Amino acid sequence: MRRELVFTFDNVSEALTFIEAVTNRIKSKELLIRYDVGSNVKVWVAIQGEPYEVELYTAEIKRIYNDIKLMRGKYGIRVYDVSLILSKAKLKAAMPIDLLVDILNIMGIEAEIEGSKIRVRDSLGLEDLVKIVEEVSELYHEMIDMEISAQAKRVIAIYSFIMKKPIKESIDDLLSHGLINRYGDSELLVLSTDYDHALLKLQELIEVEKKQK
């Protein structure tokens, strides 16, 4: 069985993101893709195989296309599939993807995560989110061998990313402001309060430091 699907995109970048996602998710030798650039960009996807395979692949390809359309934004809200962000990002170390939402919120950008989707009330594009994830992943890589609790790592990474400070300097700053401390007589760094309160204190600290610059 063979089926050909045609999709229309607003620009080449959007079309290439779609093609990349399809080739990453659809592992079939019987997949053919071509595109044409005119007044808009058209992508033809041909899939061949057993009927049940073609049906499954067709549903997945349409799902990817819908994910791409949601990224265009509606009523000021853009929706990004987490798998699209992670497939494009070059990660140095694993990081909690919901940390991206915390970072955006502290930056003053409304964002929330729902299942496998991140909703952003802003003009941030996919590449912007990928860049943030890559930079934060690099920060996590720097902390791999450090004795830091998971929650403290989140706060340190947020502060380091937003303030553009090295990890060690960020740790010193957060220690001096009492957001993190050492656990007992050990070298382990932990939060001095629960995570939600730490985020509020962190936001206040960042706002004060930015005003002093």
User: How much is the pTM?
Assistant: 0.81
Residue 37 CB partners (closer than 8 Å, separation 6+): 12
Tens place of pLDDT for every residue, the chain, 213 residues? 899 999 999 889 889 999 999 998 888 778 999 989 877 899 999 999 889 989 999 999 999 999 898 888 777 899 999 988 998 899 999 999 999 999 999 999 999 999 889 999 988 889 999 999 999 999 999 999 999 999 999 999 999 999 999 999 999 999 999 999 999 889 999 999 999 999 999 999 999 988 887
Number of Cβ within 10 Å of residue 17's Cβ equals 21
Domains and CATH numbers, the chain: 2-70 (3.30.70), 73-128 (no CATH), 143-213 (no CATH)
Q: How far apart are CA 101 and CA 107, in angstroms?
A: 10
Burial 82-103 (b: 16+ CB within 10 A, else e): bbbbeebbeebeebebebbbbb
